[in-house]
């Protein structure tokens, strides 16, 4: 079986530019996002957007998948660069950005998952796995308690991010994240 021929370089660049712009636009949006605005911001025509992403769902699914891959992979990268506590705190910020990106896509994601047009990802399991890797490293170094479950930390972080909005007091998310980290330290 032959492998598919790689796309043209300009087509790959356009696709990557569309994904990058869509990630930024969805993260900044409070509601529905215009595909025309994404194409315009990316410097391409709407036809180019539709050649790469034939539906809104296809674009949202691609952005979501790229974000999920990035946020889960960043845990190991951060652990290579920092001690576990600092890695966790930096990862929390990255996770907050992931959740912010989803806010602008939420209606499309929910509708797509419900209709089957968008595959339901194993998001929670992957996020919990990333947190678990950091917690395990912190337990080995003595920075974190050994009785904390990664799923509980996932719930704490998700609760923090769902309970806060862009209208929340400045610094509130950071303070709440600091409380989570404090709760993980050995007693």
**pLDDT tens-digit profile of 57-87?**
899 889 988 889 999 999 999 999 999 999 9
**How far is the C-alpha of 156 from the C-alpha of 154, rounded, in Å?**
5
Contacts by 170-176, CB closer than 8 A, 24 or more apart: 173/96
| pLDDT of 4 | 43
- Element at 5 (helix H, strand E): none
**How far is the C-alpha of 15 from the C-alpha of 13, rounded, in Å?**
5
| pLDDT of 2 | 39
At residue 1 the predicted structure's pLDDT band, cuts being 50, 70 and 90, is: very low
| pLDDT of 122 | 85
% the chain with pLDDT above 70 = 96
Q: What is the pLDDT of residues 151-183, one digit of tens each?
A: 999 999 989 988 887 777 888 999 999 999 999
- pLDDT of 108 > 90? The answer is no
| Mean pLDDT score of the chain | 89
At residue 19 the predicted structure's pLDDT band, cuts being 50, 70 and 90, is: very high
| pLDDT of 7 | 63
- pLDDT of 146 > 50? The answer is yes
**How far is the C-alpha of 27 from the C-alpha of 25, rounded, in Å?**
5
pTM for this one?
0.80
């Amino acid at each position: 079986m032959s492998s598919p021929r790689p796309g043209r370089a300009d087509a790959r660049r356009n696709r990557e530019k569309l994904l990058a712009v869509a990630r930024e636009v969805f993260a900044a949006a409070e509601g529905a996002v215009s595909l025309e605005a994404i194409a315009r911001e990316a410097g391409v025509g709407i036809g180019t957007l539709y050649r790469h992403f034939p539906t809104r769902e296809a674009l949202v699914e691609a952005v979501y998948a790229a974000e999920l891959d990035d946020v889960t992979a960043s845990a190991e990268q951060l652990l290579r660069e920092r001690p576990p506590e600092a890695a966790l705190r930096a990862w929390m910020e990255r996770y907050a950005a992931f959740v912010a990106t989803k806010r602008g896509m939420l209606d499309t994601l929910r509708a797509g998952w419900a209709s089957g047009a968008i595959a339901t990802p194993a998001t929670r399991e992957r996020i919990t796995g990333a947190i678990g890797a950091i917690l395990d490293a912190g337990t080995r170094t003595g920075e974190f308690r050994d009785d904390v479950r990664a799923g509980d930390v996932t719930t704490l972080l998700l609760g923090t991010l769902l309970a806060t909005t862009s209208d929340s007091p400045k610094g509130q998310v950071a303070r709440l994240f600091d409380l989570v980290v404090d709760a993980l330290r050995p007693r």
